[in-house]
Amino acid sequence: MERSQWKWLYISIGFSLAVLIVILYLTINEKTIQCIKEINIVFLFLAFLTHLLTMCFWAMRIKKMSFSLGYKIPFLYSLNLVFANLLASAITPAQAGGEPVRVHELYRADVPIGDATAVVIMERVLDGIALAGFAAFAMIVLTDQWKMLGTASEFIVFVIWFFIADSLLLFYFSVRRPDIIKRVVNKITRFCLKKWDRSRIDEFIERADKEIDNFHDAVGRFIRTGKTGLLWGFLFTLLYWVSEIMTASLILVGLGQPPLILESFVIQLILAILMTMPLTPGSSGIAEVGATTMYALFIPASVVGIFVVIWRIVLYYFNIALGILSSIIIVRREAEMRK
């Protein structure tokens, strides 16, 4: 990574650690020490394995969706791509930095940029549909759990539904009217790159128009001939979110608490939605405070702090470690390609 990226990684980790220290300070007592002594390592190990399984579901989603467009991506390559995405997500608001990484790695696997972009954007669309569906299910079926969390949680989900609906509508118009997207890109490019030579700007716009056409064609291929890829993608999207949500329940059992499967489903759903907001790098601080606030309604205060620490180790710090390992592999690959 570049020096500026390391800086943002340090900021993200530092902010997360600071919040975790405050949470532990406010919740730790003698019962917490006793809880730590009685931790069931087996269930914590299962939590790590479940999180790895979640990454495998993500890798399979990319593999199947790419295959439906005619590109064969090896599973291990796709998995390493996902790991590299995790590091970029940890240093960018709303975890948005992962998308360019996935596009780049698909491009390195001989997938044209337009098709790679189509795969990555369709991933976001499927995530939005899945989260909206889960939110609808939770609000209709799990009414008791929602009531315990208060009206604020309902407001958050209604706002997210509105945001997702707008995003899907924007996606629809971008597919139906690519000429509008081209005009917008043209104006933004000329405004942002006005210091460039005109020939370079025209060349850049020409390339952008070509990739927009490639993206439009790829989405059309998903709709016309890649429906199987979309079905596989949606299946693995559902498996991804269910597996990610279940990780918290495994940690709770490891701490001697009830799994709180339904409650965790609602809480993890809200947290997943909050973490898509561009608030802090890697959503550090937001995730910790949100999890502490909501889980404190269901588990003792002496346990909630250590639970949030372990939960973030599994879903955040472990991601960073996997991302750094993946980045080393990619750097070595790039060095070999240059040779």
What's the burial of 143, exposed, middle or buried (CB within 10 Å: 0-12/13-18/19+)?
A: exposed
Is the residue at 11 inside a domain?
Answer: yes
Token couple for 21: 């220290």
Listed in sequence order, the residues at least 6 apart from 277 whose beta carbon sits closer than 8 Å to its beta carbon are 93, 94, 283, 286
State how far the alpha carbon of 190 is from the alpha carbons of 182, 198, 211, in Å.
Answer: 12, 9, 17
Contact 300, 329 (CB under 8 A): no
- 195-211: burial string, b at 16+ Cβ within 10 Å, e else: eeeeeebeeebeebbeb
Is 95 within 8 Å of 275 (Cβ atoms)?
yes
Residue 185, in any domain of the structure? no
DSSP 315: I
Tokens of 25: 């300070």
Q: Determine, yes or no, domain membership for 267.
A: yes
For residue 277, the SS3 value is coil
- Within-domain flag for 298: yes
Distances in Å between the alpha carbon of 220 and those of 152, 215, 225?
Answer: 39, 8, 8
The DSSP code for 316 is I
Which tokens sit at 295? 């889980």
How many angstroms separate the CA atoms of 179 and 182, rounded? 5
CA distance 81 to 327: 9
Type of residue at 217: D
Sequence-ordered list of residues with C-beta below 8 angstroms from that of 286, at least 6 positions apart, any chain: 274, 275, 277, 279, 280
Find all residues with CB under 8 Å of 233, minimum gap 6, and list them.
61, 64, 65, 122, 123, 126
| pLDDT tens per residue across all 339 residues of the chain | 556 567 777 888 888 888 889 988 888 888 888 888 889 999 999 999 999 999 999 999 999 999 988 899 999 999 999 999 888 887 776 555 678 889 889 998 988 887 888 888 888 888 878 877 777 777 676 666 556 666 555 666 666 667 666 666 766 766 777 777 778 777 877 777 777 777 777 787 787 777 777 677 767 777 777 788 889 999 999 999 999 889 999 999 999 998 888 888 888 878 887 777 666 666 677 888 888 988 888 888 889 999 999 999 999 999 999 998 998 888 888 777 777
CA distance 46 to 247: 8
The answer to whether residue 133 is domain-embedded is: yes
What's the Cα-to-Cα distance from 305 to each of 176, 245, 293, 296, rounded to whole Å? 49, 19, 10, 9
Give the residue from 158, 95, 153 showing the smallest Cα distance to 132. Answer: 158
Range of the domain at 76: 3-176+226-338
Rounded to 5°, the CA angle 283-48-327 comes to 60
Residue 218 lies in a domain: no
Task: Give the model's pLDDT for residue 51.
Answer: 95
Cα–Cα distance measured from residue 263 to residue 149, given in angstroms and rounded to the nearest whole number: 9
d(CA 323, CA 160): 28
- pLDDT score for 168: 67
Count: domains in the chain: 1
Q: Residue for token digits 């802090």? A: 280
pLDDT at 93: 65
